Amino acid sequence: MSEPRKLEVLRAIVEDYVHSREPVGSKALVERHHLGVSSATIRNDMAVLEEEGLIAAPHTSAGRIPTDKGYRLFVDRISQVKPLSAAERRAIHSLLEGPDDIDDILERTVRLLSQLTNQVAVVQYPHSNRALVRHVEFVLLAPKQVLVVLIADTGSVGQKVIDAGSDVGNEALMLLRSRFLGSIAGTQLALLPQVLPSVVALCPPELRSLAQTLAQGLQALSDTSREERILMAGTANLARSNVDFPLSIGPVLEALEEQVVMLRLLSDMGDDPRGVTVSIGRENPYDGLAEASVVATGYGSGAKVGILGPTRMDYPTTMAAVRAVARYLSRILGG
């Protein structure tokens, strides 16, 4: 049998199965796709595909469904990115409008992406490695409680309440603020751990201990902004898309709730610079996602956006949406 037709058959199977959610047989295949050969020939091809582990039959006399490996081949070699519709394009464009607040933008991004793809959308907060310290603020909340605020030039604001061991004077706090600010304004967040100790060392001895505590707070904040958070939307899509095909939704929800899991998942996916990366079924490092796929890509300076859905998803369209959204996101944040 010819290699091109084999791939064509696999492609047809994947597309039909994604569409109908039912195992697809040889006869139906020749009817819906003009393959130019008879069902018997297709049957032979399918036998080969099955031997190669690209498709499988749920039971003896049913049609075939793609395996993880089959989807993989489909994604890697067969599928072509489907262009977005005008409406979708417009929807993404409108992301450009509105306030530049980063939380707002990300919020709207996940919503949009989940609507475009009908899947669960996930976005990682942008990396702030290159972010610079713009401002530092210490605010006395209670005699022994200080609110430490760290503002980066990206507009991201970190905050943390710290517990000074003993009473803190407002004047001392102001003094330390200007010291810190003077020393670290303009510094990269990532460099704070190296810079802060010397600032502390230069403080008057009686303030040394407080300065130390504050420095720890600041450092924790710079960690926090790097310890990326994620935002998601569209979990209801999970229930909808699985109404007649019970992917066990529980484990997936669990994974989604564990930010750590999602973060690892996203960052484990190599950042294919050409386009989006796809992780299919059991390729996922997390067991609960054995029947799910993740389609993601990087944006801005390396953070990820993507979606999570059942293995049986419309990859071309989904990949197109993810890629388009990521591009716009990069553009907005880059400007």
Partner DNA sequence: GTTAGCACTCAACATGCCCAAGTGCTAACA
Partner DNA sequence: TGTTAGCACTTGGGCATGTTGAGTGCTAAC
Partner that binds at residue 247, options DNA, a second copy, none, CB closer than 5 to 8 Å by kind: none
Binders of a second copy among 129-188, rule CB under 8 A? 134-135, 137, 139, 141, 145, 147, 149, 151, 153-155, 157, 159-163
Nearest distance, CB of residue 55 and DNA, angstroms: 9
Neighbouring CB atoms inside 10 A of 210's CB total 21
Report how far residue 119's alpha carbon sits from residue 114's, in angstroms, rounded to the nearest whole number. 5
Report how far residue 36's alpha carbon sits from residue 150's, in angstroms, rounded to the nearest whole number. 66
Partner that binds at residue 41, options a second copy, DNA, none, CB closer than 5 to 8 Å by kind: DNA
Nearest distance, CB of residue 24 and DNA, angstroms: 6
Verify binding: residue 243, a second copy, rule CB under 8 A: yes
Nearest distance, CB of residue 64 and DNA, angstroms: 5
Residues of this chain that interact with DNA (CB under 7 A) are 1-2, 5, 23-28, 36-41, 43-44, 46-47, 50, 57, 59-64
- H or E element, residue 240: helix 235-241
Instruction: Name residues whose C-beta falls within 8 Å of residue 252's C-beta, 6 or more positions apart in sequence.
Output: 238, 288, 289, 292, 308
Partner that binds at residue 153, options a second copy, DNA, none, CB closer than 5 to 8 Å by kind: a second copy
Instruction: Name residues whose C-beta falls within 8 Å of residue 137's C-beta, 6 or more positions apart in sequence.
Output: 147, 148, 149, 151, 177
Partner that binds at residue 290, options DNA, a second copy, none, CB closer than 5 to 8 Å by kind: none
Verify binding: residue 56, a second copy, rule CB under 8 A: no
The tokens describing 183, both together, are 């020393």
Q: What is the DSSP letter of 275?
A: S
Residue of 126, 133, 86, 83 lying closest to 106 (CA atoms): 126
* Displacement of CA 139 from its chain's centroid (Å): 34
Residue pair 186/254 in contact (Cβ under 8 Å)? The answer is no
Closer Cβ to DNA, 34 or 274, answer by number: 34
Binders of a second copy among 102-121, rule CB under 8 A? 102
Interaction site with a second copy (CB under 8 A): 99-102, 134-135, 137, 139, 141, 145, 147, 149, 151, 153-155, 157, 159-163, 233-236, 238-240, 243, 248-251, 253-254, 256-257
